[in-house]
Structure 1
Amino acid sequence: MILSLSDITKSYQTAEGQISVLRGVSLDLARGETLALTGESGSGKSTLLHLAGGLDRPDSGSILVSGREINKLDDAGRAGFRRTDVGVIFQQYNLIPSLDVKANVSFHAKLARRFDPLWETELVEALGIGQLLQRYPEQLSGGQQQRVAIGRTLAAKPPLVLADEPTGNLDESTADIALDIMLRLTKSAGIALLLVTHSSRLANKLDRRITLSGGKVAA
């Protein structure tokens, strides 16, 4: 398994008191497998994704990525993990405004010391962004920015990709195209994908689907 979450709990303190977001969630994701994580707003989907990506720590439980228990890593260890072992695609794209498309696509791969010009060329062609390489993020449409964000994440060939509503800002047709491309590219590279989505239509495109309800995996 590339990802194993066992009995994960997570709570947050608010002005109204403590809120329990995850209540004993367990799931496994095999290498090269795609898994959709669905559920109503507030069910804990994004929180679970952030924990799996080392962006936060659980209150209890264990998170194994490639056999390493990342919840026991210190801040520096988790930063290194995020640089080399996982790629995250957000709904907001998070492209670097001062870099053109070509530099944005290669940024993570160079940071992880995995820059492969042949793989980058394949990504650029598959994503249809070859004519955009000299443009900057502000010159791109939402769909174009999302394709660049997908390319940037996949360029480093991380064994695990986490995607949080990556097509949430796109219209239905553009969302379908973007996800189809992402699924084809992750499969060809043997990358595992955990995708958070509200859309049953998109979730049905993946190998498996798990639904969260009230901070637990629904039966």
Structure 2
Amino acid sequence: MAEKSSIFDMIGPVMIGPSSSHTAGVVRIASAAIRILGSLPTHATITFYNSFARTYEGHGSDRAIVAGLLGYATDDKRIRDAFDHAKEAGLQYTFQSVGNASTMHPNTIKVQLRDERTGHATEVIGQSRGGGVIRIVEVDGFPADFSASLHTLIVDADDRQGSIAFIASVIAHDDCNIATMFVSRKGRNDVARQFIEMDSGIKPITLDYLRQLSWVHQIIYIPTID
């Protein structure tokens, strides 16, 4: 009797290829960055590190990052013509590459964004981990650790006793379960940045309440990025 064979397929993101690491993950890093900026940028400086520095042109990562900065999803057919669409949208961008950053993940990208219409700017460093999975590891010089696959809250607040517990309590009263929390600060009693991943979305009224606290400087909310 012959043995029954089985085939196991890896299920990845619905995307425009050729590679989930070099396209889907790259689009998602850009998607996270524009949500942190709060708008689509007018100017972008994009730095590819290590393996990305050697392959970003051949594997389409350059088009993918530009497409993400335009707000396109991973399966948007416009990714293939992202450069043309960027020109139409007035997005100015520059590519840089660093091939020997030994302390960084092989597939690392830094995006420095500016929106001249609002005056806002941000710098985000992300890693493409494969299968469309990403990690954001730095935001505006603050170490970070979130995937953008969950609802994410970024809170800048005074580094004061009880602040973390208080914000966690407010989120809990909104029936949001905290999946992960990463807190970063540049110095004692300086501004601390909290990166909070939640299993569900947070209500606008809760965000408004947190924003009006005198010791909270900034709130950024990033819904789940597909």
User: Which structure has the highest helix share of the two?
Assistant: 1
Q: Which structure has the bigger radius of gyration? A: 2
Output the TM-score relative to the length of structure 2.
Answer: 0.25
User: Which structure has the highest strand share of the two?
Assistant: 2
Q: Which has the higher contact order (CA 8 A, sep 6+)?
A: 1
Output the TM-score relative to the length of structure 1.
Answer: 0.26
